[in-house]
Amino acid sequence: MDRGSINHLALTVSDLVRSTEFYDRVLGFMGYARVEVPEATQQLMKTRLHAWTSPNGSITLRPVTAESAGKAHNRDAAGLNHMAFNAENRADVERMYCLLQDIGARILDPPAEYPYFPGYFAVYFTDPDGFKFEYVFWPQT
């Protein structure tokens, strides 16, 4: 692993089944594979966990606790605003956009070139709980 690269992202979701279906499709598209979390790990964490891995790291989901069940994610409050994943090229961003439309994901901003850096081409979307994600091709030369 490269120093400073992200090792894993752990998300808490309101509906584990619904979110697992979403992430199976989106993460599968990006080359992540669903893996079984050992029962001993789930017992240690005191919750059900679903996980996906790739050479770029791993992502896990856990269900929300009962005391937090009614609280919605607010990306404008302190905490996570959004997470961006790298795309191979502009066509890859367009393909992700088609997948997101097919699964009924909420699209925040369609594929376009954004003025952050030269050639920055991205699509912005949310997961079922409102976590904002970005799939971006940025030709860094």
**What residues does each domain of the chain span?**
6-66, 80-141
Mean pLDDT of the chain: 92
Interval 9-21: pLDDT, tens: 999 999 999 999 9
Output the pLDDT for position 141: 55
For 80-141, CATH number out of 1.10.10.10, 1.25.50.10, 3.10.180.10, 3.50.50.60 equals 3.10.180.10
* Residue 1 pLDDT greater than 60, yes or no: no
Alpha helices in 3-121 (DSSP H): 16-29, 39-45, 90-102
Domains 6-66 and 80-141 equal at CATH topology level = yes
Instruction: Supply the CATH classification number for the domain 6-66.
Output: 3.10.180.10
Q: How is residue 132 written in tokens?
A: 């904002």
Please compute the mean of the pLDDT values over residues 23-30 and round it to a whole number.
97
Q: How is residue 2 written in tokens?
A: 């490269």
